[in-house]
Amino acid sequence: MTFNPYLLRVTLELYAERMTKQKYYSAKLVKRLILSSNKSLEKLFSPARGAKPKLVHITPLYTTEEGKIRTLTYVSRVGSGVYHFYLGAVEGELDMYAAISILESTPEKIEFNRAVYHVRRVEVKVENLEERIAEVMSAIQRAKKVKVVLASPTVLRDPLASSKHKTLVPSVFNLFSTPVYIKLYLSGRLRRRTFIKTLLRLHRALTVPPTFWQTLRKIDLQYEPGRKVPALIGYLNLHYNPENDPDNTALDTLRKTLPYMLALGTGVGRAAGLGHTTIHTPQAHTDGRG
């Protein structure tokens, strides 16, 4: 069975018939939109025990204002307008064409959190991960750096502390911990020794500059009333040192890891709308929101 990752960009037009006064994280509305088309997907979002990682990822809603993309995090209202979000998964867990069909069959009317929305239009685009990763790898070899954008609130994992330890320290170890874990799990090569050796390979070749707090910030995400989640949002630059990667093994590891990072995010809560990650080359114009 193949477990190729994929990422879908979903654009939809919403008309708000009735608004709510209760605030919520907009990814909760995204989840409702997805599940309203197929209740059987609930199992993909349910808490799981054991070594198996979550193999589905959603994002909050994004909107474009004056040419800039804005993330809707904790909001009291999602008004009428055009929005987009992302759904990432792997073949074998959720077939891509089945996912597209589910998204395109979103009901015309959604009730959520005491609000009522009419869905007037849904468009689904398959993101070309291979092309994007080729651009990123070319930029790393040429410019020796790339920009990693945490495009939704992100809570990382520290693999050196424990498999469940959460952290806000954006080290290379913590940034890549989740996608490396997923890749090794799906390939059947998940061993503690292999996991740490793979992260060490990336850690030696990639550097997070000490100025990352100038572009990355901590927020207290109000996931729902009475529940705050400390998280990171923004971007940081990763620098590549070829002297620490003479045989290009780190580059090869990065190339094989990026599909899982871009499609399934990083850190914890990825199926709840956290940890969406995009990567931009030095020439690309970005606003830090994906």
Is there a single domain that holds both residue 180 and residue 229?
A: yes
| CATH label of the domain that carries residue 177 | 3.30.70.1900
Is there a single domain that holds both residue 15 and residue 86?
A: yes
Is there a single domain that holds both residue 122 and residue 133?
A: no
Residue given tokens 């790898």 in the structure block: 137
Q: Which of 126, 155, 182 is the last residue of a domain?
A: 126
Is there a single domain that holds both residue 41 and residue 161?
A: no
* Length, in residues, of the chain: 290
**Could you tell me if residue 285 is inside a domain?**
no
Is there a single domain that holds both residue 39 and residue 109?
A: yes
Tally: H helices and E strands in the chain: 7, 16
The pLDDT of residue 76 is 62
Is there a single domain that holds both residue 114 and residue 34?
A: yes
Q: Look at residue 286 and tell me whether its pLDDT is greater than 60.
A: no
Q: What backbone torsions phi and psi does residue 163 show, to the nearest 5 degrees?
A: -65, -20
Q: Look at residue 103 and tell me whether its pLDDT is greater than 60.
A: yes
**Could you tell me if residue 121 is inside a domain?**
yes
CB within 8 Å of 69: residues ≥ 6 apart: 62, 63, 287, 289, 290
**Could you tell me if residue 289 is inside a domain?**
no
Q: Please give the residue that has the higher pLDDT: either 113 or 101.
A: 101
Mean pLDDT for 117-123 is 93
Global pTM value: 0.92
The pLDDT of residue 73 is 80
Query: 32-41, 43-52, 177-186: which has the minimum mean pLDDT?
Result: 43-52
Is there a single domain that holds both residue 264 and residue 174?
A: yes
| CATH label of the domain that carries residue 34 | 2.40.30.310
Is there a single domain that holds both residue 186 and residue 258?
A: yes
Q: Look at residue 40 and tell me whether its pLDDT is greater than 90.
A: no
What percent of the chain shows pLDDT beyond 90? 72
Instruction: For residue 17, give Cα distances in angstroms to 12, 28, 35, 143.
Output: 16, 18, 20, 50
Is there a single domain that holds both residue 161 and residue 80?
A: no
Confidence band (pLDDT; 50, 70, 90) for 113?
A: confident
Q: HSE (CB half, 13 Å, CA atoms) of 269?
A: 24
The pLDDT of residue 1 is 63
> How far is the C-alpha of 231 from the C-alpha of 217, rounded, in Å?
8
**Could you tell me if residue 238 is inside a domain?**
yes
Eight-state DSSP code of residue 136: H
**Could you tell me if residue 290 is inside a domain?**
no
**Could you tell me if residue 274 is inside a domain?**
yes
Mean pLDDT for 232-259 is 95
Residue given tokens 């059987």 in the structure block: 40
Is there a single domain that holds both residue 96 and residue 227?
A: no
The pLDDT of residue 290 is 42
> How far is the C-alpha of 145 from the C-alpha of 135, rounded, in Å?
12
Q: What mean pLDDT, rounded, does the chain reach?
A: 90
The string of pLDDT tens digits covering residues 44-79 is 998 777 889 999 999 999 998 877 888 888 776 788
Rounded to 5°, angle at Cα 94 from 276 and 36: 80
Cα 177 to chain centroid distance, Å, stands at 14
Q: Which of 108, 126, 144 is the last residue of a domain?
A: 126
Is there a single domain that holds both residue 147 and residue 271?
A: yes
Full domain range(s) for residue 65: 5-126
Is there a single domain that holds both residue 239 and residue 135?
A: yes
User: How many structural domains are present in the chain?
Assistant: 2
Q: Which of 82, 110, 126 is the last residue of a domain?
A: 126
> How far is the C-alpha of 194 from the C-alpha of 162, rounded, in Å?
15
